[in-house]
Amino acid sequence: MTTDLSAPARRSTTTAGRGNSPRPPFGVSAVSVLAVLIALFSLVPLGYVAYMTVATGWDTAVGLILRPRVGELLLNTLLLMAATIPLCLLLGVAGAWLVERTKVRGHRVWAVLLAAPLAVPAFVNSYAWVTAIPSLGGLGSGILISTLSYFPLVYIPAAATLSRLDPAIEQSAAALGLGAWRTFFRVVLPQLRIAMTGGALLVGLHLLAEYGAFAMIRFDTFTTAIMTQYQSTFNGAAGNMLASVLVLFCLLLLLAEVRSRGTARYARIGSGVQGKALRLPLHAYQWPAQLFLLALTALAFGLPLVYVIRWILAGGADIWTASEFLPALLTTFSYGLAGAAATTVVAFPMAYLAVRHPGWFSKSLELSNYVTSSMPGIVVALAFVTVSIRLVPGVYQTAGLLVAAYVLLFIPRALVNLRAGLAQAPKELDEAAQALGKPPLLAFIRVTLRLTAPAAAGGAALVFLAIANELTATLLLSPNGTRTLATEFWSKSSEIDYAGAAPYALLMILLSAPMTYLLFQQSKKVAGQ
């Protein structure tokens, strides 16, 4: 699961780092070696899936892939994506446009509220909806729950882009006689292309990776079926073949995103200060707009919150067994912190190369990381379990291996933020410090590292958020006796002990809320570069 929410940052960071620096702060080659090592490490899961497919043997593999069950899963997954991605784009862009470019009342509040559903893990959302409508199940429910859970992935970058869009283009369009609607479709929408393709990619990857939310409503996708196979055979050929099909899906999604992103330039050209965007008056549409925003927020954020609280009230004091939830909270915290720190450190060489030495080399390193992090947690975890049992049994079921999986799964979150931060720290400052007599490393630490710190913290916070809500990799890789908020919630809700699960759901939402807000703020800053 990646959260490359600030996708627009990718192109805005490549201008720093041109020109020849007389004295780089430290050997580029050392950084390159590190980055290559990390990239190679990140290819372990992909290599595992390829190896298992080959090892299974052609005939068996074909037999396991070309069977009716795979056809069912394929259809389910395709229909889910075909319905959910457009819906998320529609809701995300419409919401972003309303709060950023119209005179909708209370736009500041709505702007934050539309991002809020991201703080509710999809499987908590599912749990609330199943409580509200117990008969929920199948494709329709899958579309409902995933749309409500994931539309903020489109909304956040779209709102960030819209808030920084140069109004001069729209004004020109208006001056040339285009009406408001045609201006929107011919001028505004094309500018949202990066935000929309990036958001759509993220929604797609989340749909492929999601397990808990779909398992609860009896909707089978590749990921739920792999989990089922895993529970029946631990590491059977059938599960691995499903994984290889899933990996292919992820690669196709990545490719589709690269193709549809296009190569047009979106940055503003020209001098002077950008004008402030004009907000469109809504007149008679004010009430429908308010109703739309209210309904969306109520369904995506209000409903899960209300049902979590209802279960907590229904469970009374009994469900707050501190001996159980405190260790889970503490474990979640520790893994979140360790994983966030490790991911940020590991992402640094990659980000440094990408910003200061852009080129095909750094690009391909980066791509290898995106490929891995696009794989569902279950596939990465399966690879780690098998590889560690066979090759390095000493690390099997250790906290370190779990953290390593988190690093691979969530490195883009740190990477994107670090890149933006490094890009904002001009290397000329570094050079000036060196010219003033500071040794390169000291200059680097005093100047660049310090300027990058806020972005690094932002990235780390996002990784923390992801780890706190991670389920499948944690279930498979955690050391014996480990309990996190997510695994406890899952085990309680699987036993339909909904009241017992509620405190864990609430704690996950409370942990996630500040991170979501931070993400929302950060994306606006990044879009402004």
Partner 1 sequence: MKIRNSALAGIALAATAALGLTACGGGTPAGDSSSSAASNGGGSDGITVYNAQHESLTKEWVDAFTAETGIKVTMRQGSDTELSNQIIQEGQASPADVFLTENSPAMTQVENAGLFADVDKDTLAQVPAEFAPSTGKWTGIAARSTVLVYNKTKLTEDQLPKSMLDLANPEWKGKWAASPTGADFQAIVSALLELKGEAATGEWLKGMKENSKAYKGNSTAMKAVNAGEVDAALIYHYYYYGDQAKTGENSSNVTPYYFKNQDPGAFLSVSGAGVLKSSKNAAAAQQFLKFITGKKGQEVLKNGTSFEYAIGSEVPANDKLVPIKDLQAPKVDAAKLNSEKVTDLMTQAGLL
Q: Which stretch binds partner 1 (CB under 8 A): 111-119, 226-234, 452-460, 512-520?
A: 226-234
CB of 134 to partner 1, least distance (A): 5
Smallest separation (angstroms) from partner 1 to the CB of 415:
14
Contacts of 403 (CB under 8 A, 6+ apart): 335, 338, 339, 342
* Contact range with partner 1 by CB under 8 A, out of 12-20, 96-104, 392-400, 504-512: 392-400
Q: What are the Cα distances from residue 58, in Å, to 62, 142, 181, 237, 379? A: 6, 34, 54, 12, 21
Q: Which is nearer to partner 1, 248 or 392 (CB)?
A: 392
Q: What angle do CA 354, 359, 365 make, to 5 degrees?
A: 60
Any contact of residue 62 with partner 1 (CB under 8 A)?
A: no
| CA nearest neighbour of 377 among 409, 347, 338, 403 | 409
255, 210 contact by CB (below 8 A): no
Size of the site for partner 1 (CB under 8 A): 61
Sole window of 113-121, 189-197, 257-265, 383-391 interacting with partner 1 (rule: CB under 8 A) = 383-391
Which of 4, 5, 8, 25 contacts partner 1 by CB under 8 A? 25
DSSP per position, 439-492: -HHHHIIIIIIHHHHHHHHHHHHHHHHHHHT--HHHHHHSPTT---HHHHHHHH
Burial class (CB in 10 A: 0-12, 13-18, 19+), 414: buried
User: Within its chain, how far is the Cα of 124 from the centroid?
Assistant: 17
Q: Which residue has the tokens 């394929």?
A: 74
Are 353 and 32 in contact by the 8 Å Cβ rule? The answer is yes
Tell me how crowded residue 422 is: count the other CB atoms within 10 A of its CB.
Answer: 26
Answer for which of 407, 416, 461, 527 binds partner 1 (CB under 8 A) is 407
- Which C-beta is closer to partner 1: that of 87 or that of 405? 405
198 token code pair: 């990036």
Does 69 bind partner 1 (CB under 8 A)? Our answer is yes
Query: How far is 412 from 288, CA to CA, in rounded Å?
Result: 38
Residue 280 is classified by DSSP as B
Nearer to partner 1, 238 or 425 (CB): 238
Distance CA 139, CA 219 (A): 6
Q: Is 74 in the site for partner 1 (CB under 8 A)?
A: no
Decide: is 394 part of the binding site for partner 1 (CB under 8 A).
yes
Q: Closer CB to partner 1, residue 19 or residue 134?
A: 134
Residue 18 beta carbon to partner 1: minimum distance, rounded to whole angstroms:
23
Cα separation, 513 vs 519, in Å, equals 10
Say whether residue 38 binds partner 1 (CB under 8 A): yes
Could you give the CA distance from residue 161 to residue 521 in angstroms, rounded to a whole number? 12
Q: Which of 236, 302, 327, 454 binds partner 1 (CB under 8 A)?
A: 236
Nearer to partner 1, 97 or 219 (CB): 219
If 0-12 CB within 10 Å is exposed, 13-18 middle and 19+ buried, where does residue 251 land? middle
Report the Cα 146 to chain-centroid distance in Å.
14
The region of 286-294, 361-369, 389-397, 446-454 touching partner 1 under the rule CB under 8 A is 389-397
Identity of the residue, 4 or 220, whose beta carbon is nearer to partner 1 in the bound complex: 220
Going by the DSSP 8-state scheme, the letter that residue 66 receives in this structure is S
- Among 75-83, 114-122, 264-272, 339-347, which window interacts with partner 1 (CB under 8 A)? 339-347
Question: Whole-angstrom Cα distance, residue 510 to residue 325?
Answer: 14
Near partner 1 in 180-219, by CB under 8 A: 215-216, 218
Q: Which of 15, 172, 232, 274 binds partner 1 (CB under 8 A)?
A: 232
Q: Is the CB of 96 or the CB of 124 nearer to partner 1?
A: 124
Return the residue of 285, 396, 449, 517 that touches partner 1, per CB under 8 A: 396
Contact pattern for partner 1 over residues 485 through 514, marking x by CB under 8 A: ------x--xxx------------------
Site string for partner 1, 131-150 (x = CB under 8 A): ---xx---------------
The reply to whether 268 sits near partner 1 by the rule CB under 8 A is no
Return the amino acid letter for 393. P
In the complex, the residues that contact partner 1 under the rule CB under 8 A are 25-27, 30-31, 34, 37-38, 41, 67-69, 72, 134-135, 215-216, 218, 225, 228-236, 238, 338, 342, 345-346, 349, 385-386, 389, 392-401, 403-404, 407, 439-441, 444, 479-481, 491, 494-496
